Amino acid sequence: MKKLKITIALAAVMGLAACGGGSPSAPADGGSADGAAGGLEAIEVGVIPIVDVAPIYLGVEEGLFEEEGLDVTLTLAQGGAAIVPAITSGQMDFGFSNVTSMVVARSKGLPLRMVAAGANTTGDVEDDFAAVMTKPDSGIEEIQDLVGKKVGVNTLNNISDSTISEAVKQAGGDYTQIDFVEMPFPDMAGQLDADNVDAIAAVEPFVTIAEGDGNVRVFSNYAEPVENLTVATYFTSDQYLEQNPETAEKFARAMKASLEFAEANPDRVREILPTYTTLEPDVIEQLTLPKFPTEVNSASIEEIAQISLDRGLIEEVPDLAALLPAE
């Protein structure tokens, strides 16, 4: 197996999710993207220390990128907000981010393009890797019960609050009456316990941790309201694609193979998590994994763009053909 090469850069690594946040990362030794071993082409990929990126770690370990002639350095960052400027400035070659952030970035003129799928909802509103959670005695049992409540999200004006508000809208509730409060994922369970918020929008492993504290799921805002939502993708810049089309194709092929491997081997996904996170074994065993399809669901990206427009996150829907992976 190929030894994983990991660097820690850009920010203190306290997990923010595909939606901006995630779990704390374990310290890791590693090399840099300066030069490659055995004649391989060196590339650097910005990732976040969360469950969603397990496929790329497995792909490196299994030699799937090496088969494409690529020597990969995985650089841990605090979140997509740190990865985007590293991509646009050419400091990194590829990065990982949630799809709402990608739509917003493209609408602002940032020359970014998706090159491979990343993570998908399971589609199960009661058993997804993301969930809106509350105390069992909160009185919040249905989606529309969130109206008039305080809901903790890791980032305002992003994928969590926009999908929650859309779910409430579709359920017939007035989403404008929800008070979203920004807080890091690791703080959510404590804020809920202290009654500073009525509900939280958590992702794994914090869903499992919150359930261990006695909290309950209301629904998954990734599984509902958008069907078969592609939550996050790998991306690069237009300039990089123009200058390195063959490398981008190699990366996309290796990433596809990695996603296929992860989807077929969930036990291996769980086994690799301790190599780049500090998750406890009991949490790893219980948490719900995302789905890892090999293709981006373009219809779900179109819906995310429309929700973003409706919520005022963007002024107009960007050219999605220029954002989605080239066919």
Q: Residue 267 pLDDT more than 60?
A: yes
Q: What is the model's pLDDT at position 327?
A: 75
Q: Is 38 exposed, middle or buried (0-12, 13-18, 19+ CB in 10 A)?
A: exposed
Q: Mean pLDDT for the chain?
A: 89
**Tokens 């869903």 identify what position?**
207
pTM for the model stands at: 0.87
Average pLDDT of the residues in 143-147: 97
* Identity of the residue numbered 213: D
> What is the percentage of the chain residues whose pLDDT exceeds 70?
88
**Exposure class string for 128-151: b at 16+ Cβ within 10 A, else e:** bbbbbbbbeebebeebbbbbebbb
Average pLDDT of the residues in 46-60: 95
Q: What is the model's pLDDT at position 4?
A: 56
Work out the angle at residue 71's Cα, subtended by the Cα atoms of residues 66 and 73, and round it to the nearest 5 degrees: 130
Domains of the chain in start order, with CATH, are 6-121+228-323 (3.40.190.10), 130-219 (3.40.190.10)
Do the beta carbons of residue 217 and residue 229 sit within 8 Å?
no
125: confidence class by pLDDT, cuts 50, 70, 90: confident
Q: What is the number of alpha carbons within 13 Å of residue 156 lying toward its C-beta?
A: 8
Q: Residue 297 pLDDT more than 60?
A: yes
Q: What is the model's pLDDT at position 20?
A: 45
Q: What is the model's pLDDT at position 16?
A: 38
27: confidence class by pLDDT, cuts 50, 70, 90: very low
Beta strands 41-47; 70-76: pairing state: parallel
